[in-house]
Amino acid sequence: MTGRGSAERWRRAGAAMWRMLAVWAVATATMLTLAALLPDFRLESPHGDSITRIAVTAALGAGGFGVLQALVWPLLVRALLLVPALVLGLLVFFLNGSLLLLALRLNPSGRGGAAWETAVVVAAAMSAVASATGTALTVHDDAAYRRRLSRLAGRRRRRAGPYPTTPGTVFVQLDGVGHDVLDRAVDEGLMPTVARWLGRHREGETEDSRRGTHRLTRWRTDWSSQTGASQLGILHGSNHDVPAFRWYEKDTGEVVVCNRPSSAHELQRRATVRTGDAGLLGTDGASRGNLFGGGAQQLALVLSTTARRAPGSRSRAGYFAYFRDPANAVRTAVSFVAEVVREVTQAVGARLRGDRPRVSRGGLYPLIRAFATVVERDVVVAAVIGDMLVGRTAVYADLVAYDEVAHHSGPYSRDAFKVLGRLDRSLALLDEVAQHAPRPYRIVVLSDHGQSPGETFRGRFGEALGDLVRDGCGLPVPRRAADAPTGAGRPAGTPSGAEARGAARAALGRPVEEGEGSALRGRPARRREPVVLASGNLGLVSFADVPHRMTRQEIERRHPALLATLADHPGVGFVLVADERHGGVVLGPHGAVLPLSGLDEDPGPLAGFGPGAVAAVRRTHTFPHAADIMVNSRYDPVTGEVLAFEEQIGSHGGLGGAQGEPFLLWPCSLSAPDADGVPLVGAERLHGVFRRWLGEAAAPRLPRQAARRPDGSGGTAPAAASDETVGSPPH
């Protein structure tokens, strides 16, 4: 055994040496090629040298550059911990060029030199080629491949004993992907990994190969169908008092915005106090790319922690771990530019075709989209890979790419569906990495909400919700709104954008949106103008000079025409307001006033919003920070369309359509999410299911046979893999 082990060690050492020499040779050839192509990059003296001497200079330069990258680069990255993350991504190129210039200066041959800008290009090209070569040489060597993935992720940690044999769990959130969208993408062949997990039949497959490892079902969100409410409930077990994506709190005079770091931190604190528990990821967990930490000690790209400046905060750890490999920055930068070009091309094409509905896709949006679909995706996936390779027990990661694109291109657009194909490749990579992890993994995929299509409220009626409210209050409507053509402009005070906007601002070190939140601080009580905010197709109206939540009677005494103006408007579905007699009432057109207590018998305007609408509205009415007036836009059950109060043609945040029907995809080895007979309604319900699954992973049960439901949407089925192989692709 000792001799065999020694021979194996020598074999691995020999293979590693061969790979190192091969990468060195390719890097040398790359340097020679670039020297021949770039006039400002030379590997010889001004008087010329022999081919042999030039080759030696290139070999020494490539070797020195590789050594400096291995030894100096991690120290440079660590020294830049206070630099905003995306700034670091740009600095990578200049620092890499500096290392190349240093390698040429230290070259024993005394030859070689390059202009500064040329050195940046050469260093980027050499890093990319060396990375690609190393990956190609290790792809068939499991041990080497695992070591390489671990280096790329930058997630090494020491363990006192062996890794657990019980399964770990990875929760991957595909932000904004509705159940119907996922089902359609799988049927159209855009998500082959998910199709394989589900065992969807395709021509040429045998019966055995169609044996799925996962099951798919839908769940129903709360009234506030957006990431802030859903993810807070999933990770922390409570989304109480989260009425929307943004709302005004009278007791503090602040606008709370779920994708603002300070707000996210406060919401997480409130949920922790309410539940008395750190969160879903409190035991050896990791939170990646989320709004909230979930109690995890390992954090990367978590918005609620970017507001903290305390020593030891690891909120940017994912960026720095990712950029430790210069090749990652090169690959991401190229993909980033390509995504910006893709967005500009698609936006121009939509305008030339005259697509309707359509919203503005200019300004910073192409950059925000590229951040969401490239940078955030790459960094989060790399962080999750690292978590799996060090055997963490529970990981929760959010990929926001689809949500960002669907807001501006539409949830059923070709642009958005192409993003789903790229997200499927990320799932395939995690599935592959699970084979190299030190413990088995179960991969659960879910969404936090869906998206409902439809043109904007302003696009349909030529005025924003804020303008309608001002008109109902008898206040002058700004000329810019009155004169604006149909579809132009954006409601004041409600900046459009998804979760990626806040994450991108945090990555740039500018986490607070100007003019939002602080603008209301210190507003004099004599100013009776309402505060109007939007969360998709949910609008919130508050009167800042009144310290309590106003009742219907108070509002009518103050502004007699306001509630009728809103309830009778053809773009409004229903209005919720407090009432002195009934506690709370729903207002509909033609003067309809329905007490919340009587909606079971007569749901009135809520009838078309589907099951659960009444309960969702009643629950939100109990929130201390519910707005004085809650306005939900009209919903068309035939077309599934809503009218967003923001400038989005794919929206979420209120009631109506696919936005409230996200999906849950879980391994067959886990119990059915509704095994206890409780329906999947509300994010807090999912928290309980995930807690149960983590408990099952800690004490695995034997696979059991159960009949699949006729609609194929739930229940357990014969397990296609044991607990030791869940998460790996079927063979």
**Position 614 pLDDT exceeds 70:** yes
Worst-scoring range by mean pLDDT, 12-16, 404-408, 571-575?
12-16
pLDDT at 628: 97
Q: Distance from CA of residue 711 to its chain's centroid?
A: 30
Amino acid letter, residue 506: A
CA distance 613 to 579: 19
Sequence-ordered list of residues with C-beta below 8 angstroms from that of 443, at least 6 positions apart, any chain: 170, 172, 427, 430, 431, 434, 667, 726, 727
The average confidence (pLDDT) of the chain is 78
* Amino acid found at 266: E
For residue 629, what pLDDT is reported? 98
Residue 83: phi, psi to the nearest 5? -80, 135
pLDDT in tens, 175-190: 999 999 999 999 999 9
CATH class in words for 173-243+264-453+662-698: alpha beta
Which 8-state DSSP code applies to residue 657? G
Residue 346 in this model has a pLDDT that exceeds 80:
yes
* DSSP symbols for 2-49: HHHHHHHHHHHHHHHHHHHHHHHHHHHHHHHHHHHH-TTEESS-TT--
Q: Is the pLDDT of residue 325 over 60?
A: yes
Average pLDDT over residues 118-144: 56
Per the CB < 8 A criterion, the answer to whether 285 and 396 are in contact is yes
Q: What is the pLDDT of residue 339?
A: 86
Q: Where are the alpha helices (DSSP H) in 637-678?
A: none
3-class secondary structure, 104:
helix
Per DSSP, the residues of 286-331 read: EEES-SS-TT-SEEES-HHHHT---TT--TTHHHHHHHTSHHHHHH
Contact call for residues 117 and 356 (beta carbons, < 8 A)? no
What is the pairing mode between strands 452-453 and 650-651? Answer: antiparallel
Query: Domain boundaries in the chain?
Result: 2-140, 173-243+264-453+662-698, 457-658
What tens digit of pLDDT does each residue of 472-529 get?
A: 999 988 765 444 433 333 343 344 445 666 665 555 555 444 444 444 444 434 467 8
Ranges of H-type helices in 434-542: 457-461, 465-472, 479-482, 499-507
**Measured torsion, CA atoms of residues 425, 429, 431, 435, in degrees rounded to the nearest 10:** 160
pLDDT band at 149 (very low <50, low <70, confident <90, very high): low
User: Which residue do the tokens 């989209």 mark?
Assistant: 369
pLDDT confidence of 359, banded at 50, 70, 90?
Answer: confident
First to last CA, the chain: 31
